[in-house]
Amino acid sequence: MLTFPDKKEITTEEIQKALDFSSEQVIRNLDIFTDSFQKAYSENGFYQPIPNNYWTTGFWTGEIWLAYEHTGDNRLKDAGERQIDSFLERINKKIEVDHHDMGFLYSPSCVAGYKLIGSKKGREAAIKAADQLITRFHPVGEFIQAWGPMDAPENYRLIIDCLLNLPLLYWAFEETGEEKYKEIADKHIHTALANVIREDYSTWHTFFFDMKTGAPDHGATCQGYRDGSAWARGQAWGVYGTALAYKYTHRDSYLPIFKNVCEYFLTHLPEDMVPYWDLEFTDGSNEPRDSSSASIAACGMLEMAKYLEKEDAVHYTRIAKQIMKSVYENYAVKDEKQSNGLVLHSTYSNHSPYNTCNHYGVDECNSWGDYFYMEALTRLIKDWRLYW
Ligand code: GLY
């Protein structure tokens, strides 16, 4: 296993300082972002408000809950509850919910609010979101379709990111006792892990199937540099997604998958342990970073450390602390005049000669980068009851 003997680990004092500043930053933002949400990415370092109509809005509410856990400040609790009202309205009115991102939306917002303060509205909204999510399950291919109309062959595909949407289904199963949620999640994980991971343990972003037979067809790396490369965030979703898959299924075959997907991520890190937006790139490339991938992968390693033998658990915890040291020192916002976000130098969607992506949020903060930064730090200072 790859180790980084010359890298320092983040200290408890630094974690405390980072969470103090992050929580203060979240509180400063409440004036604007209580009845609105942060846009997916900042522009010149500053987020603009949007209504609750995009796949990313749950991360901002998740930051509010993490800041509430850190401070106990009731302004945060009140804001979190107001945002849950918005999520309940969104699922009741079915506003922009015809896609698979129900977990990204409803786990850090509504499941979190239910777990932390017993929000009944949060529970109701999250179960409705789980019901919405299972409408996207294809019984022939045995996967949840990411986006697009369900009857279109060109959309008959899953994406690696979806592994983070499945904890919502396991939570709904635990809450209601209804097996359908767990059965669909189990099947999706099986199909996803059997297909999105390449022989060298790099990952496809997205994988297509034959609509008639359900047979695997081909992979594509939609948000990465090119089809054959490893999109950094896709690989990070793979690290965290496999850890969560193991948490909920305890299938032994997922352990080596986690280790190998993680190893691929780690062997492709640049000197400061924060990846460029595609793992094809490294130091000297002049390409933008995706700092969010670093925090996402660290969260996955810290989750998996709970289930591993001591030596492996110590190994992954150490690497997570080394990564977070770099994110904190080199990427985190330290002055509110510089940005109203938490972590700079992330990349949402970058155009390349080989992809069809728009140039959105390149070298900016993004909402999930901020959220997973706080989650990783929170995991490092307490026995955190996860929202996923
Ligand atoms: N789930 C979409 C993304 O990571 O950009």
Asked about 161 being catalytic, the answer comes back as: yes
Question: Ligand 1 center to residue 72 CA distance, Å?
Answer: 30
324, 298 in Cβ contact below 8 A? yes
φ, ψ of residue 220 to 5 degrees: the values are -150, 150
Predicted confidence (pLDDT) per residue in 183-229, tens digit = 999 999 999 999 999 999 999 999 999 999 999 999 999 999 999 99
Query: Structure tokens of 278?
Result: 């595609």
Nearest CA to ligand 1 atom 2: 161
Question: Residue 147, by phi and psi: left (phi above 0), alpha (psi -120 to 50) or beta?
Answer: beta
Q: What is the pLDDT of residue 278?
A: 98
Q: What is the pLDDT of residue 221?
A: 94
Nearest CA to ligand 1 atom 1: 161
Looking at the CA of residue 161, tell me the nearest atom of ligand 1.
1
Asked about 227 being catalytic, the answer comes back as: no
Model confidence band, residue 358 (pLDDT cutoffs 50, 70, 90): very high
Q: Report the alpha-carbon distance of residue 343 to residue 332 in Å, rounded.
A: 4
Predicted confidence (pLDDT) per residue in 268-295, tens digit = 999 999 999 999 999 999 999 999 999 9
Cβ–ligand 1 contact at 161 (below 6 Å): yes
With residue 24 as reference, give the H or E element that holds it. Answer: helix 12-29
Question: Ligand 1 center to residue 213 CA distance, Å?
Answer: 28
Long-range contacts of 196-199 (CB under 8 A, 24+ apart): 196/158, 196/159, 196/160, 196/238, 197/238, 197/257, 197/260, 197/261
364, 43 in Cβ contact below 8 A? yes
Mean pLDDT of 367-376: 99
Q: Report the alpha-carbon distance of residue 220 to residue 208 in Å, rounded.
A: 8
What's the predicted TM-score (pTM) here? Answer: 0.98
The three-state secondary structure class of 221 is coil
Predicted confidence (pLDDT) per residue in 153-180, tens digit = 999 999 999 999 999 999 999 999 999 9
Rounded to the nearest 10 degrees, the angle between the axes of helix 167-176 and helix 232-249 is 20
Residues 6+ apart with CB under 8 A from 367: 38, 39, 40, 41, 47, 56, 57, 59, 60
Q: Report the alpha-carbon distance of residue 316 to residue 326 in Å, rounded.
A: 16
Cβ–ligand 1 contact at 233 (below 6 Å): yes
Predicted confidence (pLDDT) per residue in 81-130, tens digit = 999 999 999 999 999 999 999 999 999 999 999 999 999 999 999 999 99
Q: What is the pLDDT of residue 45?
A: 98
Residue-averaged pLDDT of the chain: 98
Query: Structure tokens of 141?
Result: 């291919």
Q: What is the pLDDT of residue 195?
A: 98
Q: Report the alpha-carbon distance of residue 204 to residue 198 in Å, rounded.
A: 7
Percent of the chain at pLDDT exceeding 70: 100
Question: Ligand 1 center to residue 112 CA distance, Å?
Answer: 21
Q: At which residue do the structure tokens 């990783």 appear?
A: 376
66, 77 in Cβ contact below 8 A? no
Mean pLDDT of 255-277: 98
Cβ–ligand 1 contact at 100 (below 6 Å): no
Q: What is the pLDDT of residue 200?
A: 98
Looking at the CA of residue 159, tell me the nearest atom of ligand 1.
1
141, 160 in Cβ contact below 8 A? no
Residues 6+ apart with CB under 8 A from 66: 22, 23, 371, 374, 375, 378
Residue 364: closest CA among 38, 61, 107, 10: 38
Going from the C-alpha of 199 to that of each of 17, 203, 264, the distances in angstroms are: 41, 9, 11
Q: Report the alpha-carbon distance of residue 236 to residue 203 in Å, rounded.
A: 10
Measured distance between the N- and C-terminal CA atoms of the chain, rounded to whole angstroms: 28
With residue 171 as reference, give the H or E element that holds it. Answer: helix 167-176
Question: Ligand 1 center to residue 371 CA distance, Å?
Answer: 13
Catalytic residue among 20, 78, 85, 161: 161
Q: What is the pLDDT of residue 122?
A: 99
Cα torsion angle, 188, 194, 198, 202, sign: positive
Long-range contacts of 115-122 (CB under 8 A, 24+ apart): 115/385, 115/387, 116/65, 116/68, 116/69, 116/80, 117/77, 117/80, 117/81, 119/81, 119/84, 121/81, 121/84, 121/85, 121/88, 122/84, 122/87, 122/88
Model confidence band, residue 351 (pLDDT cutoffs 50, 70, 90): very high
Nearest CA to ligand 1 atom 5: 348
Q: At which residue do the structure tokens 């939306």 appear?
A: 105
